[in-house]
Amino acid sequence: MTKSNLYIVILRFSENKKMAPQFMKAHLQWIDKGFNDKIFLLTGSLVNHSGGTILAYNTSFENLQEFIQTDPFVKENIVTPEILGITPSRIHENIALE
């Protein structure tokens, strides 16, 4: 198990939330790319339906920032992204970060 920086990305819906269905397919393809590129560990909706969240690793803050800007939801101002960096001090043994 390797310790590396982790990032929580919060994608909060903006006033353009109603446009989400129109760009959902492209957004899901973007998410697939994040998993295929081994940047994303998990994605999901916020419990209060105010947006989504991503747990990312295996990248730098700058590269993650650039990648987030390619999300169709970000490009169309459907969501506003916030990236929180974490330097883990402890990781559960069942989570192997490469």
Give the model confidence (pLDDT) of 19-37 as tens digits. Answer: 999 999 999 999 999 999 9
Q: Is the pLDDT of residue 96 over 90?
A: no
Its pTM stands at 0.89
Domain at 6-86, CATH homologous superfamily: Dimeric alpha+beta barrel (3.30.70.1060)
Domain spans, the chain: 6-86
Write the CB contacts of 88 (distance below 8 Å, at least 6 apart in sequence): 3, 4, 6
Give the model confidence (pLDDT) of 55-70 as tens digits. Answer: 999 899 999 999 999 9
